[in-house]
Amino acid sequence: MTPKDLEQLWQQINAELDQDEDIELDAYLRNKGCSRVELNALSDHTPNLINHTFLDADLHDQQLHNKYKIIQQIDSGGQSDIYLAARSDGVYQQTVVIKFISGQFDHPSLKQQFLQEMQLLADLRHPGVVTIIDGNITAQGKPWLVLDHIDGLHIDQHVKRHGLNTEGVVKLMMDLCETLQFVHNRQVFHKDLKPGNVLVNNINDVPYPVLIDFGIAMQQGDQVAMNFGTRGYSAPEQIKGQTVDQRTDLYALGVLFGHLLLTRQGQATALTHADDLRQAMVAADVPKDLRRVISKLTAVDPAKRYPSADALRSDLSLWQQGFPLSFDNHKLTAVVAKSVKRHPWVTLGLVMALVSAVFFTIKYTRDTHHLQQLTIAEKNATDELMNFMLDDLYENLERIGRIDVLQSVVNQSVDHLGKQDPLTLDQAGHLQAAKAYANTGRVFDYLEQSEQAQSMFRKAEKHLQQALEAGADPLDHLPLLANLKVYESQVLVSAGQEQATERVLNESILAMQQLLLLDPSSSQLPLWEASMELGYHYMEYARDESAAQVANTVAITQRQLANNPEDANWLYASSQSLQMKAWYELDYGELSQGITDLLLAIEHAQASMALDPEDLKKQHNQRILYNQLGFFYLEDQQLEPAQQAVLQAIELGDALKLKAPFNQEYEREHAYSYGTAGEISQQLGDLDAALRYYQFTLATTQELYAADPLNYSAANDLAVDLLLVADLQQQLGQTAEAQAQFAAVDALLQPVHEAEPNNKYYAHTLLVTKLQLQRWAEAKALYELAKSNDMVDGTVKALLAKHQLDWP
């Protein structure tokens, strides 16, 4: 039933019940073809929801007491109270540790943060990290955690009890490195490594160290409650309250390592400084290489420490096998000495010594070579995984509108890509790397981080070039290149974009043409995408090539649709081609043809949605089209249909917002809907409603601009919205506020226009601003520009009329 039909039906019911108010409702409704039980009382319809709302919502607090029985208090300190408890809900037997963290978390944002941190730890599933079983915040605002209970000794007690030798300690340290690397890869830092926070879990006589008590970085209000760690173990930067990273943990690990080596020899004392440690180790005859490892770990300058736990682990592994460590790579003497030591029989003969030294040096080099090979294989595997995540996941997440969750994958990917040595890559490796960079850039672009995106695309291009030089197959190379160029064109939003965009899009089209010559069966979607981008680009700069390019793009989709009329993706593409055609027609004054094309575009979009109902991207497309239809009708002064189209867009937008609440792009489009709705209300004379709509839009565009201030089109969007609000304020008599807003828009947009003088939209926005500010000279020049671009629209004309300016 359409809203109109319903309204009619309601009118009818209204009249009929006015006439005969004693009518029997059930029978009456049956006559209306309504079989549903009538609405009597809330509790008949939603008994479960009511129970859920009033009872279950608080179950979380009681959960704790229902589920666990406290056995004893283990510890009570400034930071937290810790209890040993048993699970008591009869599900299964398990002892756990319950930790109440001191401090109140009443404020929603603090709660949110605590829960986020908890989630972070919950995601760290590793045998070397204590498992979080449960946790929440009680009604009184007290956060609690339930952790796995590790029935083991503190690491130093373990070393003492079992009388571990140096090798045994090194083995434990290597296990710890593995855990730390795992944790650090996820950007989590422990911040309080010390013997008391490492328990050794002895399962089936295999000892494995487990990290407990992550220093959850509690923020109280805006003030960061610093976690200063433990005296003697904290790195200098942590004590000073500066930024900490994985190297801060490595410092503490170094102190811990030294402490364990001394413990082993019964010499552990309370150490308060890394220097004391060094001296004690000399006295205790700790092997020199390990002393150097510890010195490196406890260097004051983080840059002089090991860069990662993996690097330390690799050195410890070399030490175990008697190979030279990372820092004496280049010293032949050290290499020789170690080779000799590793193979004591060499020392039997002086002459043999030299021969062997040479022999083992060569062997060492070969060993390294072998290691390198392994590394490359591993690296390629990692690249593929990253690409899988960025490629397939991108498509799938786009369908549900949640590209934003790829942020952390992207960060790791960048980290990983940055570490690889280009000299070790073969052509397949280069192609993988190029793809990874391209995908990474695409995510950055989506997250409105254009600068990072551009840098990623540059790197991708370099790898593509290198792949070609290494003999890559054009069938692999060309589609990547075509896609890359399209992505690249989409981030060129700042200075110099006009020529650059045209260049990259032509490169993309050229690559696709070459590809289609080699393999006519390749997918033409990238060709269509590049062609459409180029069409829009020509239109934006009012270039003569526009018409041909638009026709060309529409032709591509028409050809494809003729062959596959039921293809959801080509229907989707077709709706976008038609949409572009409509814009072109709007630009050149064929408004009614534009509306016809938009309606056809909506039909195609609807069909593509019906074929692929899960894809939010397609629903988003549909909403955009309704938005534009509203705008077109508005331009055509058909206010009623315009309002209907926009309300349709808002409804679709509300639905999308429920399904993907954090999607910036959707948010922006939603804001456009409100913007148009505001304009319509304004024209209908309802200024208050208009102001309400505009303010919704303004809030969103302000947010988007703040997130990406280098993005000119975001600046322009913001300017347009500010102008609308200011104009309305002026009409409502708030002149001072309005003038201040106009001045702000001027300051925002003047530099954008100067950087991109040929962009007709930026110029138009600035023209309106200057007219509002009554700066006639500047306005005149912009007016000439607008006239040559055919951009003198109703807004401009109305302003000219208002100030009685008779410009030709």
Partner 1 sequence: MDSANLTQLLNNDQSALTQDQHKDIEAVYQRLKEIARTQRFKVKGTGINTTALVNEAWLKSQKQAKTFNDRNHFFAYSALAMRHILLNEAKKNQLITYVEETDQLHQPVFKESSYLLDLEKQLQRLKAFDEKLEQVFTYKFFGDMEFADIAEVMQVSERTVFRNWKKARAMLAVAMQ
Q: Which residues bind partner 1 (CB under 8 A)?
A: 1, 3, 6-7, 9-10, 13-14, 17-18, 21, 23, 25, 28-29, 32-34, 36, 38-43, 45-55, 57-58, 658-659, 661
CA distance 586 to 791: 11
Question: Which two three-digit tokens encode residue 755?
Answer: 């950087």
Question: Which two three-digit tokens encode residue 626?
Answer: 């309704």
Smaller CB separation from partner 1, 38 or 301:
38
Smaller CB separation from partner 1, 36 or 330:
36
Smaller CB separation from partner 1, 402 or 668:
402
Smaller CB separation from partner 1, 91 or 658:
658
Smallest distance from the beta carbon of 53 to partner 1, in angstroms? 4
Smaller CB separation from partner 1, 44 or 301:
44
Query: Running DSSP on this structure, what letter comes out for residue 129?
Result: B
CA distance 207 to 172: 8
Smallest distance from the beta carbon of 657 to partner 1, in angstroms? 10
Smaller CB separation from partner 1, 21 or 167:
21
Largest CA distance in the chain: 122
What secondary structure does DSSP assign to 753-767, as a single string? HHH-TT-HHHHHHHH
Query: Running DSSP on this structure, what letter comes out for residue 775?
Result: -
Smallest distance from the beta carbon of 616 to partner 1, in angstroms? 10
Contact 671, 701 (CB under 8 A): yes
Smaller CB separation from partner 1, 41 or 562:
41
Smallest distance from the beta carbon of 619 to partner 1, in angstroms? 13
| φ, ψ at 73 (rounded to 5°) | -85, 130
Residue 372 CB neighbour total at 10 angstroms: 12
Smaller CB separation from partner 1, 122 or 428:
122
Smaller CB separation from partner 1, 34 or 300:
34
Q: At a CB cut-off of 8 Å and minimum separation 6, what does 548 contact? A: none
Smallest distance from the beta carbon of 136 to partner 1, in angstroms? 16
CA distance 587 to 593: 12
One-letter amino acid for residue 796 of the chain: V
Smaller CB separation from partner 1, 47 or 241:
47
Query: How open is the CA angle 68-70-75, to the nearest 5 degrees?
Result: 125
| φ, ψ at 146 (rounded to 5°) | -115, 125
Smaller CB separation from partner 1, 47 or 287:
47
Smaller CB separation from partner 1, 656 or 796:
656
CA distance 627 to 672: 7
Smallest distance from the beta carbon of 404 to partner 1, in angstroms? 13
Contact 192, 227 (CB under 8 A): yes
Query: Running DSSP on this structure, what letter comes out for residue 200?
Result: E
Query: Running DSSP on this structure, what letter comes out for residue 291?
Result: H
Smallest distance from the beta carbon of 101 to partner 1, in angstroms? 24
Contact 449, 409 (CB under 8 A): no
Smallest distance from the beta carbon of 402 to partner 1, in angstroms? 9
Smallest distance from the beta carbon of 622 to partner 1, in angstroms? 19
Smaller CB separation from partner 1, 52 or 803:
52
Q: How far is CA 622 from CA 29, 80, 702, in A?
A: 36, 53, 25
By C-alpha distance, which of 222, 211, 62, 228 is closest to 144? Answer: 62
Smallest distance from the beta carbon of 15 to partner 1, in angstroms? 10
CA distance 702 to 708: 10
Smaller CB separation from partner 1, 13 or 801:
13
Residue 222 CB neighbour total at 10 angstroms: 5
By C-alpha distance, which of 764, 711, 769, 763 is closest to 744? Answer: 769
- Residue where the block lists tokens 């995408």: 529
Smaller CB separation from partner 1, 61 or 737:
61
Q: At a CB cut-off of 8 Å and minimum separation 6, what does 505 contact? A: 485, 486, 489, 530, 533, 534, 537
Smallest distance from the beta carbon of 615 to partner 1, in angstroms? 15
Half-sphere exposure of 739 (CA within 13 A, CB side): 7
Report the DSSP beta bridge partners of residue 137: 143
Specify the DSSP element, H or E, that contains 370: helix 350-399
Smallest distance from the beta carbon of 617 to partner 1, in angstroms? 16
For the chain, the helix, strand and coil percentages under 3-state DSSP, each to the nearest 5: 70, 5, 25
Smallest distance from the beta carbon of 741 to partner 1, in angstroms? 24
Q: Which residues of 149-166 are buried (b: 16+ CB within 10 A; e: fewer)?
A: bbebbbbbebbbeeebee
Residue 597 CB neighbour total at 10 angstroms: 23
Smallest distance from the beta carbon of 85 to partner 1, in angstroms? 24
Smallest distance from the beta carbon of 41 to partner 1, in angstroms? 6
State the sign of the Cα–Cα–Cα–Cα dihedral 665, 670, 671, 673: positive
